[in-house]
Amino acid sequence: MPAALLVSYPATDGARFDRDYYIATHLPLVREKWGTHGLTDAIGMWPDDDAPAHVAVALLTFRDAGARDAALASAEAGAGAVFGDVANFTDIQPSAQLLTVA
């Protein structure tokens, strides 16, 4: 059964979020590093309203929970590359939730 990781960036007064960097650099990095661990899709989403609860949300889909968990645990792909890149586009502490896809 497919699994997902939902990553959200809560709206915070004065917070920095570089959408251009996120689209051009971070999402391709996620696809490159976690593609080898069963990532099947990675999409970024932006709120349409003027007072959003989150400035961005990412939905990362994996072939199954084992693949997702392996990606998160990978020293090279997880903390080393993907998580280490977050500071390059935001100072917001992201929130992550593990999901099962129906």
* Dihedral (Cα; 100, 38, 20, 93), 10-degree rounding: 50
Which residue ranges form the domains of the chain, and what is each CATH number?
A: 3-100 (3.30.70.100)
For the stretch 41-85, pLDDT in tens is: 999 999 998 889 999 999 999 999 999 999 999 877 666 789 999
* Dihedral (Cα; 84, 76, 32, 42), 10-degree rounding: -60
* pLDDT of res. 25: 97
Alpha carbons 11 and 87: distance in angstroms, whole number: 16
* Structure-block tokens of residue 20: 């251009």
Are the C-beta atoms of residues 92 and 12 closer than 8 Å to each other?
yes
Mode of pairing for the β-strands spanning 3-10 and 54-62: antiparallel
* pLDDT of res. 79: 63
